[in-house]
Structure 1
Amino acid sequence: MQHRISHEQDAELDAGRGPVGPDVEARLSAELAAVVAGARRRALRDGDRQIDTAHLLHTLLESDPEAREAFGSGPQIARLLGYLVQRSIGYGLRWQSSVENSGAVPVVTEDGWSPVAAGVMAAAYERAVRRGGLLADGVDLLAALAAEPGSRAVEVLGRAGVDVRELLVRLDGVMAERGLEA
């Protein structure tokens, strides 16, 4: 799938900023674009105003085998998915109608993303660029999610018993391997 990059997007990259808003979706692999579409459906079904990092994490783990592999072969992925299902059927009610916010930008975005999720998507793309890729993929997104302290995704990972620092080390290893392949 070929994505067109506008002059405005080129200027954003030259300015050192990642894509924001709808432009972020032009920087995704086909698989990751499907994850975003699934997260959008999940947010709507859950009655949430915006896609948050927990929606992204849930849909990513359901659909991306490489992202699931980062958790190893033990029971951790089953525990994590079970926790995410609980979140979608009730636990997340305390998040409903609230905006996931880092505290740095107390603004509601108008493009369907929580401010934190929009930043994570930009970080996933920046990670792809650092490894020499043109499009972000599931491992890029998982690393960006895990690297965002205070996000709903990191809260879910912690409650499911995932050591986020260890996960980031494993994902950095995947990035290094890919860098050698690129």
Structure 2
Amino acid sequence: MQPRIPRQSAGEQGDRRPDAAGDAPRSGAELASVVSGARRRAVRDGDRQVDTAHLLHSLLELDPEARAVLGEGPQLARLFGYLVQRSIGYGLRWQSTVEDSGAVPVMSGVAGFSPLAAAAMADARARAARRGAAEAGGVDLLAALVADPQARAVEVLGRAAVDPRTVLARARNLSGPMP
């Protein structure tokens, strides 16, 4: 495990820094704060890249519409519990590894994101475009995050007893039909 220095400046972080300017796929203004929060989480957790679990955590904290897809109650509380525990519990095994199922091609030009996280961002934009929206929204990203069964976001949902297929179906219904 790499030692973590809590008060590193951005300049001292070198190659580990997943929040370098210009490294994220372009998305709408709605997702800018989600991506920013996921980047901060990755740095704080000592991860080299933003992964789908970072994006899921930030998305659910910041987007009430995406949170509504999951519903309310103990299931949502349990999900947040797993997301919070990632840096002190089961998520430690993810450090120093790249989230990549091999099911999606590695995307270039998105340093700081795992291949699956980069693909989810691109898929969110594609989902928005298919339904005629100018920008991707939180529900588009949520649907993209749960689309690959190998994603860390899907693993977290499973640990919280949330069925990713149900989340995907609800997200599709909420965002409207796609041609």
Instruction: Give 1:103 shift.
Output: 2.4
Question: AA paired with 2:79?
Answer: L
1:24 aligns with 2:13: no
Which deviates more from structure 2 when the two are superposed, residues 52-61 or residues 99-108?
99-108
Gaps of at least 5 residues in structure 1 are 1-20
In 1, Cα distance between the equivalents of 2:167 and 2:33?
23
- Tell me the number of residue pairs that the alignment of Structure 1 and Structure 2 aligns: 156
Question: AA paired with 1:86?
Answer: Q
The equivalent of 1:142 in structure 2 is: 142
In 2, Cα distance between the equivalents of 1:59 and 1:113?
14
Q: 8 Å contact 2:104–2:119 — kept in the other structure?
A: no
The equivalent of 1:95 in structure 2 is: 94
Give identity over the alignment, percent: 66
Instruction: Give 1:31 shift.
Output: 2.4
The equivalent of 2:33 in structure 1 is: 34
Which deviates more from structure 2 when the two are superposed, residues 48-57 or residues 160-169?
160-169
The equivalent of 1:43 in structure 2 is: 42
More helix by share: 1
The equivalent of 1:82 in structure 2 is: 81
In 2, Cα distance between the equivalents of 1:170 and 1:105?
23
Look up the SS of the partner of 1:24 in the other structure. coil
Gaps of at least 5 residues in structure 2 are 1-21
Instruction: Give 1:107 shift.
Output: 6.3
**1:63/1:33 Cα in 2 relative to 1: closer, same or farther (>3 Å)?**
same
Look up the SS of the partner of 1:88 in the other structure. coil
Instruction: Give 1:29 shift.
Output: 2.2
Q: Give per-residue Cα distances to partners, 1:21-73, cap 9 Å, x unaligned.
A: 84622xx2222111001101110111111000000001111111111000112
Instruction: Give 1:125 shift.
Output: 0.5
TM-score (norm 1): 0.79
TM-score (norm 2): 0.80
